[in-house]
A = this chain, B = another copy of it.
Amino acid sequence: MAEKTYREAIIEAMAEEMRRDERVVLIGEDVGRFGGAMGASKGLFQEFGSDRVIDTPISEAAIIGSGLGMALTGQRPIAELMFIDFSGVCMDQILNQVAKVRYMLGGQVKVPLVIRTQAGAGKGYAAQHSQSLEAWFTHVPGLKVVMPATPRDAKGLLKSAIRDDNPVMFIEHKLLYNTKGEVPEDPDFLIPLGVAEVKREGSDLTIVSHSRQVLNCLEAAGELSRQGIEAEVIDLRTLRPMDFEAVKASVEKTGRLVSVEEGYPQCGIGAEVVARVAEHCMDSLDMPPIRIASKDSPIPFARILEQETLPSPRRIVERILAARKWTRHSQDSRLAV
């Protein structure tokens, strides 16, 4: 195992899969010699050449459509969408073509396509370059949706996504590229899609999150621990299919649920998690669930506004501490002070 950045893990996953299977190709804007706007394809063009690492015009619908057309004719493409915000200009290709073609054609085709993109705020990129639109893709049957939080997960999940015969939205986070962590070097190291990971164990409350907010949750959990509350942090990793069993098991243990996400608050991932818990293990809840998300606005440019808009360890801790006051069965609650 070696210490690698998230960016390196992404590149390594692609490089290994491209070596293993010549049907794997990468297509997107500036992904070639330049190595990608986020530097997340550096070196691939040099190793695999222009037949397999394809620089395109700024034509996102053409990029996704190319990915789909290649997937339908025997290739296993990775299409890079520079920012998830740009999905708006190619949404029909994702929503109505990529996600549905296998179903509409009654199984005549498979769509082994990965759409790699990056999401998230925190860099002052303002409203059109900072969104977290994972809930949209999670809404859509036919897609799988993956959002790794660590270099290790990034590598293992991307490799699985590339080997998957279904379309996968693989959503990186722009603030994670430079984060570091241990990454296995075994070229057959895979993390299965659809399996959550307990990133921290705890007995008092379950925090469910994904992508960069997992790091915030872990930081919040550290602070809570100092205050005597042991939070379990579950990283969903894959949002569709969602590993609800992992959430359920944890909530049944802790009796408390907090969901944390960076996306917009309404109809988000947190809504889905909370709704499922309410439907399937409401009796286990000792306290009303808590949803934490971005504020209900476009992402502002000014740092002071952006910080106010996003979830942060402080906000997470505060919301949880405030919640203790209205714990339902406060008599027998492990949380009650």
The answer, yes or no, to whether A100 is at the interface (CB within 8 Å) is yes
Does the CB pair A282–B272 fall under 8 Å?
no
Does the CB pair B93–A88 fall under 8 Å?
yes
Does the CB pair B96–A142 fall under 8 Å?
no
List 4 A-B pairs, minimum CB-CB distance, nearest first: A88-B92, A271-B271, A274-B275, A91-B91
Q: What 0/1 readout, one digit per residue, does chain A (47-77) give for beta carbons within 8 Å of chain B? A: 0000000000000010000000000000000
Contact for A266 among B104, B138, B283, B285, CB less than 8 A: B138
Q: What 0/1 readout, one digit per residue, does chain A (232-270) give for beta carbons within 8 Å of chain B? A: 000000001010000000000000000000011011111
Knowing A88-B93, A100-B127, A274-B275, the reply to whether A282 touches B280 (Cβ < 8 A) is no
A-to-B contact residues, CB < 8 Å: 61, 85-89, 91-96, 99-100, 103-104, 126-128, 135-136, 138-142, 240, 242, 263-264, 266-272, 274-275, 277-280, 282-283, 285, 288-291, 296-298, 300, 328
A193, chain B: closest CB distance, angstroms: 15
Could you say how many copies of this chain the assembly holds?
Answer: 2
Does the CB pair B141–A264 fall under 8 Å?
yes
**A140 contacts which chain B residues (CB < 8 A)?**
264
**A91 contacts which chain B residues (CB < 8 A)?**
87-89, 91-92
Does the CB pair B128–A100 fall under 8 Å?
yes
Chain A contact residues: over half helix, strand or loop, or mixed? helix
> Nearest chain-B residue to A290 (Cβ)?
B279
Does the CB pair A141–B296 fall under 8 Å?
yes
Does the CB pair B86–A267 fall under 8 Å?
no
> Nearest chain-B residue to A278 (Cβ)?
B278
**A88 contacts which chain B residues (CB < 8 A)?**
91-96
How far, in whole Å, are A296 and B103 apart by their CA atoms in the complex? 12
Knowing A89-B91, A278-B278, A279-B274, the reply to whether A127 touches B139 (Cβ < 8 A) is no
